[in-house]
Amino acid sequence: MARTLQQPSHRRRNKIPAALATATALALAGTGLALSAGGANAAVGNLVNNGGFDSGLSGWNCVGSTSAVSTPVHSGTGALAATPGAGDTAECTQTVSVLPNTSYTLNGWVQGQYVYLGARGTGGTDPSTWSAQSAWNQLNTTFTTGASTTSVTLYVHGWYGQPTYYADDIQLIGPGGTASPTPSASATKSASPSASASPTKSASPSASASPSQSASPSASASPSPSASSSTSNPPSNSTLPKHVLTGYWQNFDNGSTVQKLRDVQSAYDIIAVSFADATTTQGGISFTLDPALATKLGGYTDADFKADIAAKHAAGKKVVLSIGGQNGAISVGSSVAATAFSDSAYKLIQQYGFDGIDVDLENGVNSTYMAQALHTLAAKVGPNFILTMAPETIGMYSTSGAYFQLALATKDILTVVNTQFYNSGGMNGCDGKVYNQGTIDFITAQVCTHIQGGLRPDQVGIGVPASTKAAGGGYVNSTVVNNALDCLATGNHCGSFVPPAKWPTIRGAMTWSTNWDANNGNDFSNNVGAFAHGMQ
């Protein structure tokens, strides 16, 4: 987010070459998360029957042109070969008995254009991951079952009209449900499902360390949330509506409409005060009302500002302090810096009455230590802590990126990620195709990537500039934003890209900024606000 007139909120980037963009986007599929399995009294192992397809399609229910083949295989003697048709995805499913309130890891080896692996009926957010590689590659995802969930349906499928895909060595690691027989050696390609089992033939991430509760994806995998953080209940945030509008309030004058906080349009549910400043202590932050702005507003004081925050609270709004921006130099790269950040941020929250923090770090982020700092801060603030993020598009392009890792590592306390879908040129969407900024397809295809990468739909929002003056490129009018929200939630009003699923809990939209919105006749808050709040 920029402080200067008509400047991009981050460095402008040229369009990414399709080949490079595709390679980058596909890194999304290479990062898996591992959660410890619950059910301490249940045996932990691979619950999939014939996951290696060595016994043909036994144990699977398949639709379309599907068969077991002897080549190519990842290992063993069989693999699934499936060719999607014009009206089907050549899907194979298997229902597996599981335990309630328990974490599971799902993985499998695949090759081919647009291969999807996931689970339905988990009782929570159903996981899905995908890739489009010509060589064998492993997909990984995780989920936690609901309180009454006793079975889930695993699936693998391709995409309509695409070439043949292959799948092998599909595993669901975790304790089996009471109605499920213990997998035998003949049912899987591993010697035994027990915790002391020898490595499976697929050399899966959990193979080198027995499939125990502490197994991690791999030594080389990017950082993932700990089991305790990933399975915690999400923050309360109970006073927020199902679909929210987020807007940034500028604590500076850059030629837009200046506002006191009390003047921020009533449609905004979350107001991000821009920005906190770095102190001389690494990780430390401070906040001061800009003197020039205060003068222009007729003498806006700290007491006025605090009273305005209280008034917004009384109206049911949340006010968070944003760190970073285009010129932000806040760095949290060590445990000491993490402590300095959480201590100083908590002091400001107490001093002004902020509800939480917005992370808009556009000059680098250390996901490990920033996640540590945010978890510490959340523990200090309590269950109503609000955590929002506004990464640049490139920061959420792949789960291997530090910003995406930060979002996943704080998923247990994360309210919403509103990625800046602007100033980014063209990028690959979740279907591998390149879409240009400033279009509905760019927005919806990027949101798809975020959700398939592991965020819940209710943690993902759309970030756009409020006017053509607010960013260097990528502006879309309010109708496009509304259509994008409708497309993501209901499958209606989509462009050429149609998401592979409907996400009715999509969180909402964000804009830079409330000031530029006022400068543009309040088009964003009036139109997008009304639409978002009217969504079911």
Catalytic residue set:
362
Report the distance separating Cα 57 and Cα 67, nearest Å. Answer: 7
Burial degree of 113 (CB within 10 A; 0-12, 13-18, 19+): middle
Burial of 103 (0-12, 13-18, 19+ CB in 10 A): buried
Instruction: Say how many C-beta atoms besides its own lie within 10 A of residue 161's C-beta.
Output: 12
Which backbone phi and psi does 23 adopt, to 5 degrees? -60, -40
d(CA 296, CA 252): 10
Q: How many CA atoms lie within 13 Å of 350's alpha carbon, on the beta-carbon side?
A: 11
d(CA 195, CA 103): 16
The C-alpha angle 345, 347, 352, rounded to 5 degrees, equals 95
Instruction: Confirm if 398 and 24 have CB atoms less than 8 A apart.
Output: yes
Cis peptide before 513 (omega within 30 of 0): yes
- Using the 8-state DSSP alphabet, how is residue 220 labeled? T
Distance of CA 125 to the CA centre of its chain: 12
HSE-CB for 287 with a 13 A CA cutoff:
28
Under 8 Å between Cβ of 173 and 37: yes
Q: What are phi and psi of 38, to 5 degrees?
A: -85, -165
- Secondary structure letter of residue 413 according to DSSP: T
- In this structure, is the dihedral angle defined by the CA atoms of residues 297, 298, 304 and 308, taken in order, positive or negative? negative
Query: Using CA of residue 42, residue 48, residue 51, residue 56, what is the dihedral sign?
Result: positive
The C-alpha atoms of residue 227 and residue 507 are separated, in whole angstroms, by: 25
Tokens of 421: 């879908």
Which DSSP string corresponds to 70-102?
SSS-SSSS-EEEEE--SS----EEEEEEB-TT-
What gap in Å lies between CA 110 and CA 138, rounded to an integer?
6
Write out the two tokens for 112: 């081919």
Question: Are 91 and 156 within 8 A, CB to CB?
Answer: yes
At 510, list the tokens. Answer: 């964000």
Give me 377's structure tokens. 């801060």
Cβ pair 134, 111 in contact under 8 A: yes
Question: Exposed e or buried b for every residue in 206-242, given b needs 16+ CB within 10 A?
Answer: bbeebbebebbbbeebbbbbbbebbbeeebebeebee
Using CA atoms, how far residue 388 sits from 305, 320, 463, 511, in Å, is: 21, 8, 12, 13
* Bridge-based pairing state of the strands 128-131 and 65-69: unpaired
